[in-house]
Structure 1
Amino acid sequence: MTTLTPFPGYDGLMSLSRREGVDIRPTLLRVLTDLYVQSPSHTDEEERQFVELTSRLIDEVDDATRAVVRARLSIYPHTPRAIALRLSLSSSTDQRVPLAAPIPPADTTAPARPASRIPTEAEQRAASLSMQPEDAAQLSEMFFSATSQERTQILYNLAETPLRPAARIHPPRAMRAIEVLHMAAYVSDVENFTAELGDALLLTATTAERVVFDEGGEALACALKALGIKSQVFEQVLMFLDPAKGSSVDWVYRLSRLYDRLSERAALIMLAAWRGATVASTRAKYRAALYDDERQRARSATPQARPAVQPGAAWTPRTNTTRG
């Protein structure tokens, strides 16, 4: 009867493992296991020799090696029963695939996770703080005057601020705007694209033009994220709306990454800032005129003199009065 030779050099490894100071048993057990599970089936003689060899090595290796071998054999459908018992593997009666031992039930005495704290009334109010027009104007100018890296950081920080974002665009209106913007960008119709963007986001023509013609492109990313445009459509807008910019792979790739990481909340907060900046600009435009008009009306008004008797003056009764 021929004996099983698991792999070339097996006899040399066995003799080397018997030498003092050289412990190759962990490696030998792993190699034997790997070779055994590579074959879908084995003869009775091969199975007997595998059981004989591994049975001696299992008790002589460290726990880490034993765990690796146990994991490999636990998913092998033809693990010998004797080895499965040595490794505490159990198999069902319907299949020969060894199953790992059942996981012990969790300790029910462990302390439960604390319930989430209910925010206080002050925290709830702080979570929806509205921006004053002056603050919105400052945020808008800070965003447009910042570099691309600074704008990215501003947008990431806005997602964590307690500022109240603008309301989402009504879904039917947003869907119609997305279709119009997509078609306008595809034919590079910047004028209609700008007009539709301002109309959909309730922005003035000046603000919409500033968003569309912004060199960095971060403002356009915020505007389209507020509308809910998908990333694929956004990339097409970048490539076709302005072919000169869209031909830059780095520019399109940078904005695409920003768009994927940009949160809807940050985009809506920036939209609220643009709207608030318009209010602040309108107030500043008419404030001086209203102030001068009030001063002019105050100067032109002539107060009516009221007859009064001065202190110390002699009182003279009226005579020759006729009553009708």
Structure 2
Amino acid sequence: MLAARRNGRDPRPALLRLLVARYTAGRGHSAAERQRFADLAMRLFDVVDLPTAKRAATELATAPELPYALALHLARGPIAIAAPVLRLSSALDEVTLMALADTTSPDHAAAISARREVSPLLAKKLAAVLHEARGELRSLPQPRIEMAEPPASAEIVPDVGAAPTLPAPPAPAPLVEAAPFHATPAGFRAATAMQRAILFDQIALLPPLPMSARLPRAGEATLGKLELAAMRHQPAVLGALLEKALGVSADAAAGILGDDSGEALVVTGRALGIPFDTMARLIFLIHPTLGRSVTRVFGLADLHERLGEMSAQHLIAAWRGGARRAPALRMEELPAMRSFGQKRRRSETPVNEANDRNRRGG
């Protein structure tokens, strides 16, 4: 550990891999050894990167002597870590699985339903949870489809043998088009976790923004100012820095900082090209309570990994109100390519006239 720290490396991922390999290689662990392993592993799972935690959880999922406390800790984490434990681990009994289906996300319930043996009672519970999740998806607002009206000159010729024509129903009241929930940081903050997950999947399919609407990456000076303002607990300074870096309004910057889930700040950091370790320090300085929840830490790391930079810039553009940044020079001010090969006209100055007279001798 000392050698790794001198070289600037984090020794904790290697420690977790070594600890898991040593534990799974042995058999007949005592109760004290299981408890000691669970305590050490949970501390390391909370601080290592997501790929390392995912590989270690997959290796432990089939371990016959996986401690119950560690299995429950992993099953409550992000779905990337919880899925193999929920599908394969024998350390989780039916009562625990029923409670996890009630208190975790629909993705966790779907992972439980993939177990080889599921009792009828547990299967009924999982079906109810997944059915409720699908109902929430159907209840989300759908895009409005405008139907083309027939031309005014078209005439409908009634059929003589058809039934009598009923009176036309009254015209419906005009629909009020509501702004999408993600159009402002306040709406994004008020959205449910399911709505945000669907939004992230949708914006991942959008084409990249034009170059004039993209944000430049944050430089070292901007990152230093953000960290200094976060350490000093200066929300007004943080808001002004975000307002300048993102091109958003002051209300939008305040809404980003006010998102207690930290996801709006992750979107901001992804759009500005900020690494997650730097962004995590900012998030935990702004919202200290997020660092106490292992589930939230892994969830934010997973979001930072899944969310592309261009997708995050689409969301920031929506928070800017769709306004694009003006280029430094207008196109008409830039020289045309065809003018580079032309000779420049000699300016008619008094100095040139004097030189001509000297050459002519008077």
Q: TM-score range by the shorter chain?
A: 0.3 to 0.5
Larger radius of gyration: 1
Task: Name the TM-score, length of structure 1 as normaliser.
Answer: 0.40
Task: Name the TM-score, length of structure 2 as normaliser.
Answer: 0.36
Instruction: For CA contacts below 8 A with separation 6 or more, give which structure has more relative contact order.
Output: 1
